[in-house]
Chains A and B, each alone.
Chain A
Protein backbone atom coordinates (compact mmCIF):
# COMPACT_ATOMS: atom_id res chain seq x y z
CA UNK A 1 0.00 0.00 0.00
CA UNK A 2 1.46 3.35 -0.95
CA UNK A 3 1.83 6.25 1.40
CA UNK A 4 -0.71 8.32 -0.49
CA UNK A 5 -3.31 5.57 -0.36
CA UNK A 6 -2.76 5.27 3.39
CA UNK A 7 -3.40 8.96 3.84
CA UNK A 8 -6.65 8.71 1.95
CA UNK A 9 -9.85 10.03 3.44
CA UNK A 10 -11.86 8.06 5.90
CA UNK A 11 -14.73 6.18 4.26
CA UNK A 12 -18.08 7.84 4.93
CA UNK A 13 -19.44 4.92 6.93
CA UNK A 14 -16.45 4.91 9.30
CA UNK A 15 -16.72 8.64 9.95
CA UNK A 16 -20.36 8.15 10.84
CA UNK A 17 -19.46 5.33 13.24
CA UNK A 18 -16.70 7.40 14.88
CA UNK A 19 -18.97 10.39 15.22
CA UNK A 20 -21.61 8.14 16.79
CA UNK A 21 -19.08 6.83 19.32
CA UNK A 22 -18.02 10.33 20.30
CA UNK A 23 -21.68 11.26 20.64
CA UNK A 24 -22.21 8.28 22.96
CA UNK A 25 -19.10 9.21 24.98
CA UNK A 26 -20.17 12.80 25.45
CA UNK A 27 -23.96 12.34 25.29
CA UNK A 28 -24.82 12.16 28.97
CA UNK A 29 -22.53 14.96 30.16
CA UNK A 30 -23.64 17.27 27.35
CA UNK A 31 -27.16 17.03 28.74
CA UNK A 32 -26.02 18.68 31.99
CA UNK A 33 -25.50 22.17 30.50
CA UNK A 34 -28.54 21.77 28.22
CA UNK A 35 -30.93 21.25 31.12
CA UNK A 36 -29.09 23.61 33.46
CA UNK A 37 -30.46 26.52 31.40
CA UNK A 38 -33.96 25.09 31.21
CA UNK A 39 -36.70 26.65 33.31
CA UNK A 40 -38.08 23.39 34.65
CA UNK A 41 -37.36 21.65 37.91
CA UNK A 42 -37.27 18.32 36.06
CA UNK A 43 -34.80 17.52 33.32
CA UNK A 44 -37.46 16.69 30.72
CA UNK A 45 -38.01 17.26 27.03
CA UNK A 46 -39.34 19.38 25.43
CA UNK A 47 -37.26 22.29 26.71
CA UNK A 48 -39.41 25.10 28.03
CA UNK A 49 -37.67 28.40 28.56
CA UNK A 50 -34.11 29.67 28.84
CA UNK A 51 -33.13 30.76 32.34
CA UNK A 52 -29.99 31.40 34.37
CA UNK A 53 -31.77 31.29 37.71
CA UNK A 54 -30.21 27.96 38.76
CA UNK A 55 -26.79 29.58 38.41
CA UNK A 56 -27.94 32.54 40.50
CA UNK A 57 -29.15 30.10 43.14
CA UNK A 58 -25.66 28.63 43.22
CA UNK A 59 -23.80 31.87 43.77
CA UNK A 60 -25.54 32.67 47.06
CA UNK A 61 -25.41 29.17 48.47
CA UNK A 62 -23.15 29.21 51.55
CA UNK A 63 -22.87 25.42 51.90
CA UNK A 64 -21.88 25.02 48.26
CA UNK A 65 -19.27 27.80 48.44
CA UNK A 66 -17.61 26.36 51.53
CA UNK A 67 -17.54 22.89 49.90
CA UNK A 68 -16.06 24.45 46.77
CA UNK A 69 -13.37 26.22 48.81
CA UNK A 70 -12.55 23.00 50.67
CA UNK A 71 -12.17 21.13 47.38
CA UNK A 72 -9.94 23.84 45.91
CA UNK A 73 -7.65 23.83 48.96
CA UNK A 74 -7.31 20.03 48.94
CA UNK A 75 -6.85 19.81 45.18
CA UNK A 76 -4.20 22.55 45.06
CA UNK A 77 -2.21 21.11 47.96
CA UNK A 78 -2.33 17.53 46.72
CA UNK A 79 -1.48 18.57 43.15
CA UNK A 80 1.66 20.39 44.32
CA UNK A 81 2.81 17.60 46.66
CA UNK A 82 2.05 14.78 44.20
CA UNK A 83 3.83 16.63 41.39
CA UNK A 84 6.97 17.16 43.49
CA UNK A 85 7.03 13.52 44.63
CA UNK A 86 6.18 12.30 41.12
CA UNK A 87 8.93 14.44 39.61
CA UNK A 88 11.56 12.94 41.90
CA UNK A 89 10.37 9.43 40.99
CA UNK A 90 10.31 10.27 37.28
CA UNK A 91 13.82 11.70 37.52
CA UNK A 92 15.07 8.49 39.16
CA UNK A 93 13.23 6.24 36.69
CA UNK A 94 14.47 8.05 33.58
CA UNK A 95 18.01 9.15 34.55
CA UNK A 96 19.43 6.41 36.78
CA UNK A 97 19.63 2.65 36.76
CA UNK A 98 17.02 1.92 39.39
CA UNK A 99 17.47 -1.36 41.26
CA UNK A 100 14.33 -3.55 41.23
CA UNK A 101 12.72 -1.07 38.82
CA UNK A 102 9.64 -3.19 38.13
CA UNK A 103 8.95 -3.56 41.84
CA UNK A 104 9.10 0.18 42.44
CA UNK A 105 7.05 0.89 39.34
CA UNK A 106 4.38 -1.55 40.56
CA UNK A 107 4.34 0.08 44.00
CA UNK A 108 3.89 3.54 42.50
CA UNK A 109 1.08 2.27 40.25
CA UNK A 110 -0.68 0.46 43.09
CA UNK A 111 -2.88 3.41 44.14
CA UNK A 112 -4.33 3.40 40.62
CA UNK A 113 -5.15 -0.32 40.57
CA UNK A 114 -6.49 -0.92 44.06
CA UNK A 115 -10.31 -0.57 44.16
CA UNK A 116 -11.30 2.76 45.68
CA UNK A 117 -13.57 1.14 48.24
CA UNK A 118 -10.62 -0.87 49.62
CA UNK A 119 -8.45 2.25 49.76
CA UNK A 120 -11.24 4.15 51.49
CA UNK A 121 -11.98 1.41 54.01
CA UNK A 122 -8.26 0.90 54.74
CA UNK A 123 -7.52 4.59 55.22
CA UNK A 124 -10.60 5.02 57.39
CA UNK A 125 -9.46 2.14 59.64
CA UNK A 126 -5.92 3.51 59.64
CA UNK A 127 -6.88 7.04 60.63
CA UNK A 128 -9.66 6.17 63.04
CA UNK A 129 -8.77 2.80 64.57
CA UNK A 130 -4.96 2.92 64.46
CA UNK A 131 -3.83 6.55 64.57
CA UNK A 132 -7.04 7.75 66.18
CA UNK A 133 -6.93 11.18 64.55
CA UNK A 134 -10.15 13.05 63.74
CA UNK A 135 -11.29 13.12 60.11
CA UNK A 136 -10.77 16.48 58.43
CA UNK A 137 -9.68 18.05 55.16
CA UNK A 138 -6.15 16.87 56.07
CA UNK A 139 -7.12 13.21 55.96
CA UNK A 140 -8.79 13.68 52.56
CA UNK A 141 -5.74 15.57 51.30
CA UNK A 142 -3.35 12.80 52.39
CA UNK A 143 -5.50 10.23 50.56
CA UNK A 144 -5.62 12.41 47.45
CA UNK A 145 -1.84 12.77 47.35
CA UNK A 146 -1.64 8.96 47.35
CA UNK A 147 -4.00 8.54 44.40
CA UNK A 148 -2.50 11.38 42.35
CA UNK A 149 1.16 10.25 42.63
CA UNK A 150 0.77 7.65 39.81
CA UNK A 151 -0.68 10.28 37.45
CA UNK A 152 2.11 12.77 38.19
CA UNK A 153 4.73 10.04 37.78
CA UNK A 154 3.36 8.79 34.45
CA UNK A 155 3.06 12.28 32.93
CA UNK A 156 6.54 13.33 34.10
CA UNK A 157 8.24 10.09 33.01
CA UNK A 158 6.78 10.64 29.53
CA UNK A 159 8.01 14.24 29.57
CA UNK A 160 11.53 13.49 30.84
CA UNK A 161 11.89 10.68 28.30
CA UNK A 162 10.89 13.01 25.48
CA UNK A 163 13.97 15.24 25.63
CA UNK A 164 17.56 14.43 25.08
CA UNK A 165 19.44 13.72 28.30
CA UNK A 166 22.67 14.78 26.59
CA UNK A 167 21.51 18.37 27.23
CA UNK A 168 21.89 17.70 30.94
CA UNK A 169 25.23 16.01 30.39
CA UNK A 170 26.43 18.97 28.33
CA UNK A 171 25.49 21.31 31.15
CA UNK A 172 27.46 19.19 33.61
CA UNK A 173 30.44 19.13 31.22
CA UNK A 174 30.32 22.93 31.00
CA UNK A 175 30.88 23.15 34.72
CA UNK A 176 27.47 23.45 36.28
CA UNK A 177 26.81 21.48 39.42
CA UNK A 178 23.81 19.20 39.86
CA UNK A 179 21.59 21.94 41.30
CA UNK A 180 22.42 24.44 38.54
CA UNK A 181 21.74 21.79 35.91
CA UNK A 182 18.41 20.95 37.50
CA UNK A 183 17.44 24.62 37.75
CA UNK A 184 18.61 25.82 34.33
CA UNK A 185 18.13 22.73 32.11
CA UNK A 186 15.91 20.02 33.56
CA UNK A 187 13.21 22.18 35.12
CA UNK A 188 12.61 24.48 32.11
CA UNK A 189 12.49 21.49 29.77
CA UNK A 190 10.19 19.57 32.09
CA UNK A 191 7.94 22.62 32.62
CA UNK A 192 5.12 21.61 30.23
CA UNK A 193 5.04 18.22 31.95
CA UNK A 194 5.01 19.86 35.38
CA UNK A 195 2.11 22.12 34.42
CA UNK A 196 0.23 19.19 32.88
CA UNK A 197 0.82 17.16 36.02
CA UNK A 198 -0.33 19.99 38.30
CA UNK A 199 -3.52 20.52 36.29
CA UNK A 200 -4.43 16.85 35.99
CA UNK A 201 -3.67 16.05 39.63
CA UNK A 202 -5.80 19.05 40.57
CA UNK A 203 -8.69 17.70 38.48
CA UNK A 204 -8.35 14.17 39.82
CA UNK A 205 -8.40 15.39 43.40
CA UNK A 206 -11.13 17.98 42.80
CA UNK A 207 -13.43 15.32 41.30
CA UNK A 208 -12.60 12.51 43.69
CA UNK A 209 -15.67 11.26 45.50
CA UNK A 210 -15.19 7.91 47.22
CA UNK A 211 -12.13 8.61 49.41
CA UNK A 212 -13.53 11.98 50.43
CA UNK A 213 -16.80 10.21 51.26
CA UNK A 214 -15.00 7.89 53.66
CA UNK A 215 -12.56 10.41 55.10
CA UNK A 216 -14.43 13.71 55.37
CA UNK A 217 -15.19 15.14 58.76
CA UNK A 218 -17.85 17.77 59.20
CA UNK A 219 -16.74 19.79 56.15
CA UNK A 220 -17.78 18.11 52.87
CA UNK A 221 -15.94 18.53 49.58
CA UNK A 222 -17.79 19.54 46.42
CA UNK A 223 -18.46 16.00 45.09
CA UNK A 224 -19.82 14.99 48.52
CA UNK A 225 -22.06 18.04 48.52
CA UNK A 226 -23.29 17.17 45.01
CA UNK A 227 -23.98 13.59 46.02
CA UNK A 228 -26.21 15.03 48.74
CA UNK A 229 -28.03 17.19 46.17
CA UNK A 230 -28.87 14.11 44.11
CA UNK A 231 -31.07 12.78 46.88
CA UNK A 232 -33.58 15.60 46.56
CA UNK A 233 -35.38 15.97 43.23
CA UNK A 234 -35.94 19.71 43.81
CA UNK A 235 -32.19 20.38 43.99
CA UNK A 236 -31.54 18.61 40.69
CA UNK A 237 -31.38 21.84 38.62
CA UNK A 238 -28.78 23.29 40.97
CA UNK A 239 -26.75 20.12 40.68
CA UNK A 240 -26.99 20.42 36.88
CA UNK A 241 -25.75 24.01 36.98
CA UNK A 242 -22.89 23.12 39.32
CA UNK A 243 -21.99 20.09 37.20
CA UNK A 244 -21.94 22.25 34.06
CA UNK A 245 -19.52 24.71 35.67
CA UNK A 246 -17.17 21.89 36.73
CA UNK A 247 -17.46 20.37 33.26
CA UNK A 248 -16.56 23.68 31.64
CA UNK A 249 -13.41 24.19 33.72
CA UNK A 250 -12.34 20.54 33.45
CA UNK A 251 -12.57 20.56 29.67
CA UNK A 252 -10.53 23.78 29.45
CA UNK A 253 -7.88 22.42 31.82
CA UNK A 254 -7.67 19.05 30.02
CA UNK A 255 -7.44 20.69 26.60
CA UNK A 256 -4.55 22.88 27.83
CA UNK A 257 -2.80 19.82 29.27
CA UNK A 258 -3.24 17.77 26.12
CA UNK A 259 -1.83 20.60 24.03
CA UNK A 260 1.12 20.92 26.41
CA UNK A 261 1.75 17.21 26.22
CA UNK A 262 1.66 17.19 22.42
CA UNK A 263 3.99 20.19 22.22
CA UNK A 264 7.51 19.22 21.29
CA UNK A 265 10.41 19.89 23.59
CA UNK A 266 12.44 21.58 20.84
CA UNK A 267 10.00 24.46 20.79
CA UNK A 268 11.37 25.55 24.12
CA UNK A 269 14.98 25.78 23.10
Chain B
Protein backbone atom coordinates (compact mmCIF):
# COMPACT_ATOMS: atom_id res chain seq x y z
CA UNK B 1 0.00 0.00 0.00
CA UNK B 2 1.46 3.31 -0.99
CA UNK B 3 2.02 6.03 1.55
CA UNK B 4 -0.33 8.36 -0.32
CA UNK B 5 -3.21 6.00 0.26
CA UNK B 6 -2.29 5.44 3.90
CA UNK B 7 -2.48 9.17 4.38
CA UNK B 8 -5.79 9.36 2.56
CA UNK B 9 -7.29 6.62 4.71
CA UNK B 10 -6.06 8.05 7.97
CA UNK B 11 -8.25 11.05 7.30
CA UNK B 12 -5.35 13.33 6.46
CA UNK B 13 -5.41 15.49 3.40
CA UNK B 14 -4.45 13.42 0.36
CA UNK B 15 -0.94 14.47 -0.45
CA UNK B 16 0.54 13.67 -3.82
CA UNK B 17 3.91 12.01 -3.80
CA UNK B 18 6.62 14.19 -5.21
CA UNK B 19 7.38 13.16 -8.74
CA UNK B 20 10.44 13.65 -10.84
CA UNK B 21 8.37 15.60 -13.35
CA UNK B 22 7.49 18.21 -10.71
CA UNK B 23 10.72 20.01 -11.42
CA UNK B 24 9.52 20.63 -14.98
CA UNK B 25 7.41 23.60 -16.04
CA UNK B 26 3.71 22.68 -15.61
CA UNK B 27 2.87 23.10 -19.30
CA UNK B 28 5.39 20.31 -20.09
CA UNK B 29 4.07 17.92 -17.49
CA UNK B 30 0.86 17.29 -19.36
CA UNK B 31 2.20 17.64 -22.89
CA UNK B 32 1.77 14.51 -25.00
CA UNK B 33 4.86 15.33 -27.00
CA UNK B 34 7.02 15.61 -23.90
CA UNK B 35 5.79 12.42 -22.21
CA UNK B 36 6.03 10.37 -25.39
CA UNK B 37 9.56 11.58 -26.10
CA UNK B 38 10.50 10.73 -22.52
CA UNK B 39 9.07 7.21 -22.94
CA UNK B 40 10.83 6.65 -26.25
CA UNK B 41 14.13 8.17 -25.17
CA UNK B 42 15.85 5.01 -23.80
CA UNK B 43 15.14 2.90 -26.89
CA UNK B 44 15.90 5.79 -29.22
CA UNK B 45 19.23 6.58 -27.59
CA UNK B 46 20.18 2.91 -27.59
CA UNK B 47 19.44 2.50 -31.30
CA UNK B 48 21.03 5.86 -32.06
CA UNK B 49 24.28 4.78 -30.44
CA UNK B 50 24.25 1.21 -31.71
CA UNK B 51 23.24 1.98 -35.31
CA UNK B 52 23.87 5.63 -36.18
CA UNK B 53 27.10 5.94 -34.25
CA UNK B 54 28.36 2.59 -35.47
CA UNK B 55 27.43 3.11 -39.13
CA UNK B 56 29.18 6.50 -38.91
CA UNK B 57 32.24 4.73 -37.53
CA UNK B 58 32.07 2.28 -40.41
CA UNK B 59 32.06 5.14 -42.92
CA UNK B 60 34.90 6.84 -41.07
CA UNK B 61 36.99 3.66 -40.93
CA UNK B 62 36.43 3.11 -44.65
CA UNK B 63 38.50 6.27 -45.31
CA UNK B 64 41.40 5.11 -43.18
CA UNK B 65 44.63 3.68 -44.40
CA UNK B 66 45.59 0.24 -43.15
CA UNK B 67 48.20 0.96 -40.49
CA UNK B 68 49.78 -1.03 -37.73
CA UNK B 69 48.25 -0.59 -34.28
CA UNK B 70 49.74 2.37 -32.43
CA UNK B 71 50.57 4.26 -35.61
CA UNK B 72 48.82 7.59 -36.29
CA UNK B 73 45.55 7.33 -38.22
CA UNK B 74 45.79 8.44 -41.85
CA UNK B 75 42.76 9.25 -43.95
CA UNK B 76 42.74 8.37 -47.60
CA UNK B 77 40.53 7.68 -50.59
CA UNK B 78 42.61 4.67 -51.62
CA UNK B 79 40.12 2.08 -50.38
CA UNK B 80 37.43 3.47 -52.64
CA UNK B 81 39.85 3.93 -55.53
CA UNK B 82 40.74 0.26 -55.18
CA UNK B 83 37.08 -0.63 -55.63
CA UNK B 84 37.01 1.12 -59.01
CA UNK B 85 40.56 0.34 -60.10
CA UNK B 86 40.96 -2.01 -63.11
CA UNK B 87 42.43 -4.75 -60.88
CA UNK B 88 39.52 -4.40 -58.44
CA UNK B 89 37.06 -6.16 -60.73
CA UNK B 90 36.63 -8.89 -58.11
CA UNK B 91 34.87 -6.35 -55.87
CA UNK B 92 32.55 -5.18 -58.62
CA UNK B 93 31.82 -8.72 -59.80
CA UNK B 94 30.95 -9.81 -56.27
CA UNK B 95 28.77 -6.77 -55.70
CA UNK B 96 26.92 -7.36 -58.96
CA UNK B 97 26.40 -10.99 -58.02
CA UNK B 98 25.22 -9.94 -54.55
CA UNK B 99 22.49 -7.89 -56.20
CA UNK B 100 21.69 -10.47 -58.88
CA UNK B 101 21.28 -13.52 -56.63
CA UNK B 102 18.98 -11.71 -54.14
CA UNK B 103 16.96 -10.33 -57.05
CA UNK B 104 16.32 -13.82 -58.46
CA UNK B 105 15.65 -15.02 -54.91
CA UNK B 106 13.12 -12.27 -54.28
CA UNK B 107 11.27 -12.98 -57.53
CA UNK B 108 11.22 -16.69 -56.74
CA UNK B 109 10.00 -16.07 -53.19
CA UNK B 110 7.14 -13.84 -54.35
CA UNK B 111 6.10 -16.27 -57.09
CA UNK B 112 6.00 -19.15 -54.62
CA UNK B 113 4.52 -17.25 -51.67
CA UNK B 114 1.76 -15.40 -53.52
CA UNK B 115 -0.43 -18.38 -54.47
CA UNK B 116 -0.13 -19.78 -50.97
CA UNK B 117 -1.09 -16.47 -49.36
CA UNK B 118 -3.91 -16.13 -51.89
CA UNK B 119 -5.45 -19.51 -51.09
CA UNK B 120 -5.02 -18.83 -47.38
CA UNK B 121 -6.75 -15.45 -47.60
CA UNK B 122 -9.61 -16.29 -49.95
CA UNK B 123 -10.31 -20.01 -49.75
CA UNK B 124 -9.46 -21.18 -46.24
CA UNK B 125 -12.31 -20.62 -43.80
CA UNK B 126 -12.07 -23.60 -41.49
CA UNK B 127 -9.21 -23.89 -39.02
CA UNK B 128 -7.75 -20.65 -40.35
CA UNK B 129 -5.96 -19.96 -37.03
CA UNK B 130 -4.27 -23.36 -37.24
CA UNK B 131 -3.00 -22.69 -40.76
CA UNK B 132 -1.76 -19.27 -39.70
CA UNK B 133 0.14 -20.68 -36.74
CA UNK B 134 1.60 -23.37 -39.01
CA UNK B 135 2.88 -20.66 -41.34
CA UNK B 136 4.13 -18.47 -38.50
CA UNK B 137 6.21 -21.08 -36.66
CA UNK B 138 8.96 -21.38 -39.33
CA UNK B 139 9.25 -17.57 -39.22
CA UNK B 140 10.63 -17.90 -35.71
CA UNK B 141 12.71 -21.04 -36.24
CA UNK B 142 16.38 -20.21 -36.32
CA UNK B 143 17.41 -18.92 -39.75
CA UNK B 144 20.69 -20.67 -39.18
CA UNK B 145 19.00 -24.04 -38.51
CA UNK B 146 16.73 -23.70 -41.53
CA UNK B 147 19.75 -23.04 -43.73
CA UNK B 148 21.92 -25.70 -42.12
CA UNK B 149 19.23 -28.35 -42.54
CA UNK B 150 19.61 -27.99 -46.32
CA UNK B 151 23.10 -29.37 -45.89
CA UNK B 152 21.39 -32.63 -44.95
CA UNK B 153 19.33 -32.53 -48.14
CA UNK B 154 21.83 -31.37 -50.73
CA UNK B 155 25.05 -32.75 -49.24
CA UNK B 156 27.30 -35.24 -50.99
CA UNK B 157 25.92 -37.87 -48.66
CA UNK B 158 22.66 -36.00 -48.34
CA UNK B 159 19.08 -37.05 -48.73
CA UNK B 160 18.76 -36.36 -52.47
CA UNK B 161 21.93 -38.17 -53.43
CA UNK B 162 21.42 -41.14 -51.15
CA UNK B 163 17.80 -41.47 -52.20
CA UNK B 164 18.67 -41.42 -55.89
CA UNK B 165 21.51 -43.87 -55.32
CA UNK B 166 19.19 -46.14 -53.36
CA UNK B 167 16.74 -46.06 -56.27
CA UNK B 168 19.62 -46.91 -58.55
CA UNK B 169 19.21 -43.79 -60.69
CA UNK B 170 22.76 -42.62 -60.04
CA UNK B 171 25.91 -44.47 -59.04
CA UNK B 172 27.94 -41.50 -57.80
CA UNK B 173 26.79 -38.35 -55.98
CA UNK B 174 25.47 -35.47 -58.07
CA UNK B 175 28.04 -32.72 -57.73
CA UNK B 176 25.87 -29.89 -58.98
CA UNK B 177 23.59 -29.96 -55.94
CA UNK B 178 26.07 -28.20 -53.70
CA UNK B 179 28.54 -25.34 -53.94
CA UNK B 180 27.08 -23.24 -56.72
CA UNK B 181 24.79 -20.33 -57.42
CA UNK B 182 21.68 -22.49 -57.95
CA UNK B 183 22.02 -24.06 -54.51
CA UNK B 184 22.35 -20.61 -52.93
CA UNK B 185 19.19 -19.39 -54.68
CA UNK B 186 17.19 -22.49 -53.69
CA UNK B 187 18.22 -22.26 -50.04
CA UNK B 188 17.71 -18.50 -49.83
CA UNK B 189 14.28 -18.79 -51.47
CA UNK B 190 13.20 -21.44 -49.01
CA UNK B 191 14.48 -19.63 -45.95
CA UNK B 192 12.90 -16.28 -46.86
CA UNK B 193 9.58 -17.75 -47.98
CA UNK B 194 7.86 -17.22 -44.63
CA UNK B 195 8.86 -13.57 -44.65
CA UNK B 196 6.72 -13.06 -47.77
CA UNK B 197 3.73 -15.31 -47.05
CA UNK B 198 2.59 -13.39 -43.96
CA UNK B 199 2.80 -9.79 -45.31
CA UNK B 200 1.15 -10.80 -48.60
CA UNK B 201 -1.53 -12.69 -46.70
CA UNK B 202 -2.22 -9.62 -44.53
CA UNK B 203 -2.54 -7.32 -47.55
CA UNK B 204 -4.87 -9.79 -49.31
CA UNK B 205 -6.96 -10.28 -46.18
CA UNK B 206 -7.46 -6.50 -45.85
CA UNK B 207 -9.05 -6.20 -49.32
CA UNK B 208 -12.72 -5.26 -49.06
CA UNK B 209 -14.58 -8.23 -50.51
CA UNK B 210 -17.30 -5.98 -51.89
CA UNK B 211 -14.78 -4.60 -54.43
CA UNK B 212 -14.38 -8.10 -55.83
CA UNK B 213 -18.12 -8.63 -56.00
CA UNK B 214 -18.60 -5.23 -57.61
CA UNK B 215 -16.05 -6.10 -60.30
CA UNK B 216 -17.79 -9.42 -60.88
CA UNK B 217 -21.21 -7.75 -61.10
CA UNK B 218 -19.81 -5.31 -63.64
CA UNK B 219 -18.90 -8.22 -65.88
CA UNK B 220 -15.29 -9.10 -65.08
CA UNK B 221 -14.37 -12.76 -65.15
CA UNK B 222 -12.24 -14.32 -62.40
CA UNK B 223 -8.92 -13.53 -64.14
CA UNK B 224 -9.90 -9.93 -64.79
CA UNK B 225 -11.00 -9.48 -61.17
CA UNK B 226 -7.62 -10.78 -60.06
CA UNK B 227 -5.58 -8.63 -62.46
CA UNK B 228 -7.58 -5.44 -62.04
CA UNK B 229 -8.60 -5.54 -58.38
CA UNK B 230 -6.90 -8.17 -56.22
CA UNK B 231 -3.35 -7.91 -57.55
CA UNK B 232 -3.07 -4.08 -57.49
CA UNK B 233 -4.54 -3.93 -53.99
CA UNK B 234 -2.11 -6.54 -52.70
CA UNK B 235 0.98 -4.88 -54.19
CA UNK B 236 1.88 -2.88 -51.04
CA UNK B 237 2.39 -6.16 -49.17
CA UNK B 238 4.29 -7.65 -52.09
CA UNK B 239 6.59 -4.63 -52.37
CA UNK B 240 7.34 -4.26 -48.68
CA UNK B 241 8.23 -7.93 -48.30
CA UNK B 242 10.20 -7.92 -51.57
CA UNK B 243 12.35 -5.00 -50.39
CA UNK B 244 12.95 -6.57 -46.98
CA UNK B 245 13.94 -9.90 -48.52
CA UNK B 246 16.13 -8.34 -51.21
CA UNK B 247 18.06 -6.18 -48.75
CA UNK B 248 18.50 -8.89 -46.15
CA UNK B 249 19.48 -11.56 -48.70
CA UNK B 250 22.05 -9.25 -50.30
CA UNK B 251 23.96 -9.14 -47.02
CA UNK B 252 23.73 -12.84 -46.31
CA UNK B 253 26.82 -14.73 -45.28
CA UNK B 254 25.66 -18.10 -43.92
CA UNK B 255 24.00 -19.43 -47.08
CA UNK B 256 26.72 -18.51 -49.59
CA UNK B 257 29.45 -19.76 -47.28
CA UNK B 258 27.73 -23.13 -46.74
CA UNK B 259 26.40 -23.67 -50.27
CA UNK B 260 28.06 -21.12 -52.54
CA UNK B 261 31.33 -22.71 -53.55
CA UNK B 262 33.12 -20.43 -56.02
CA UNK B 263 30.27 -19.40 -58.28
CA UNK B 264 27.95 -18.64 -55.38
CA UNK B 265 30.29 -16.57 -53.18
CA UNK B 266 28.73 -13.25 -52.27
CA UNK B 267 29.96 -9.92 -50.99
CA UNK B 268 29.22 -10.94 -47.39
CA UNK B 269 31.93 -13.59 -47.63
CA UNK B 270 34.38 -10.97 -48.92
CA UNK B 271 33.56 -8.56 -46.06
CA UNK B 272 34.04 -11.29 -43.44
CA UNK B 273 37.32 -12.50 -44.92
CA UNK B 274 38.66 -8.92 -45.17
CA UNK B 275 37.79 -8.39 -41.51
CA UNK B 276 39.14 -11.70 -40.24
CA UNK B 277 41.62 -13.51 -42.46
CA UNK B 278 43.16 -10.42 -44.06
CA UNK B 279 42.74 -8.19 -40.99
CA UNK B 280 42.05 -5.21 -43.25
CA UNK B 281 39.22 -3.41 -41.47
CA UNK B 282 39.41 -0.22 -43.61
CA UNK B 283 38.96 -2.15 -46.86
CA UNK B 284 36.20 -4.29 -45.30
CA UNK B 285 34.46 -1.08 -44.20
CA UNK B 286 34.78 0.40 -47.71
CA UNK B 287 33.24 -2.73 -49.26
CA UNK B 288 30.41 -2.61 -46.67
CA UNK B 289 29.71 1.05 -47.47
CA UNK B 290 29.80 0.17 -51.19
CA UNK B 291 27.18 -2.52 -50.60
CA UNK B 292 25.05 -0.21 -48.47
CA UNK B 293 25.07 2.52 -51.16
CA UNK B 294 24.19 0.03 -53.89
CA UNK B 295 21.25 -1.25 -51.81
CA UNK B 296 20.02 2.28 -51.09
CA UNK B 297 20.12 3.09 -54.82
CA UNK B 298 18.25 -0.09 -55.80
CA UNK B 299 15.60 0.39 -53.09
CA UNK B 300 15.08 4.06 -54.04
CA UNK B 301 14.76 3.09 -57.71
CA UNK B 302 12.14 0.46 -56.88
CA UNK B 303 10.26 2.89 -54.62
CA UNK B 304 10.30 5.50 -57.42
CA UNK B 305 8.96 2.99 -59.94
CA UNK B 306 6.22 1.99 -57.53
CA UNK B 307 5.29 5.64 -56.96
CA UNK B 308 5.19 6.33 -60.72
CA UNK B 309 3.05 3.25 -61.25
CA UNK B 310 0.61 4.45 -58.57
CA UNK B 311 0.39 7.90 -60.18
CA UNK B 312 -0.17 6.30 -63.57
CA UNK B 313 -2.98 4.16 -62.18
CA UNK B 314 -4.58 7.10 -60.44
CA UNK B 315 -4.60 9.04 -63.73
CA UNK B 316 -6.47 6.28 -65.58
Contact residues of A with B, CB < 8 Å?
A: 1, 6-11, 14, 17-18, 21-22, 24-29, 31-32, 35, 42-46, 84-86, 88-89, 91-93, 96-99, 104, 107-108, 110-119, 121-126, 128-130, 142-143, 145-146, 149, 153, 177, 180, 200, 203-204, 206-207, 209-210, 213-214, 223, 226-227, 230, 233, 236, 239-240, 243, 246-247, 250-251, 253-255, 257-258, 262
Contact = CB atoms under 8 A, between A and B. Distances in A.
B88 interface: no
Contacts of A27: 153
Contacts, number: 264
B159 A44 contact: yes
Contacts of A115: 247-248, 250-252, 291-292, 295
Interface in B173-229: 190, 193-194, 213
B2 interface: yes
Nearest to A127: B54
A108 B47 contact: yes
Contacts of B159: 31, 43-45
Given A122-B58, A210-B253, A254-B137, A114 B213 contact: no
A26 B53 CA distance: 39
B116 A28 contact: no
* A-B CB proximity, top 8 nearest: A115-B251, A207-B142, A126-B54, A44-B162, A117-B251, A92-B39, A92-B36, A122-B54
Given A118-B288, A126-B53, A1 B213 contact: yes
A92 B53 contact: no
B4 A177 contact: yes
Contact of B123 (A10, A118, A180, A206): A10
B211 to A, nearest CB: 14
A91 B137 contact: no
A28 B39 CA distance: 43
Interface stretch (B144-152, B231-239, B304-312): B144-152
Given A11-B123, A18-B120, 5 more contacts: A86-B43, A108-B44, A145-B46, A227-B254, A230-B151
B55 A89 contact: no
Nearest to A254: B140
A18 B42 contact: no
A94 to B, nearest CB: 10
Interface stretch (B76-84, B89-97, B103-111, B125-133): B125-133
B141 interface: yes
B50 interface: yes
A43 B158 contact: yes
Interface of B: 2, 4, 16-17, 32-33, 35-37, 39-40, 42-44, 46-48, 50-51, 53-55, 57-58, 60-61, 115-116, 119-120, 123-126, 129, 131, 133-138, 140-146, 148-153, 155, 157-159, 161-163, 166, 190, 193-194, 213, 244, 247-248, 250-254, 258, 267-268, 271-272, 275, 281, 284-285, 288, 291-292, 295
B144 A223 contact: yes
B43 A108 contact: yes
Nearest to A36: B152
Contact of A25 (B47, B50, B55, B194): B194
A214 B141 contact: no
B275 to A, nearest CB: 7
B32 A96 contact: yes
Dominant secondary structure of chain A at its interface with chain B: helix
A10 B250 CA distance: 38
Dominant secondary structure of chain B at its interface with chain A: helix
Contacts of A108: 43-44, 47
Contacts of A18: 116, 119-120, 124, 131
Contacts of B140: 200, 203-204, 250, 253-254, 257
A258 B51 contact: no
Nearest to B153: A28
B149 A121 contact: no
Given A92-B35, A116-B251, A246 B125 contact: no
A17 B149 contact: no
Nearest to B291: A118
Contacts of B57: 122, 125-126, 129-130
Contact of A113 (B48, B116, B213, B244): B244
A93 B43 CA distance: 13
For B47, B159, B258, the residue with the greatest tally of chain A CB atoms inside 10 Å of its CB is: B47
B55 A122 contact: yes
A43 B152 contact: yes
Contact of B288 (A117, A200, A226, A253): A117
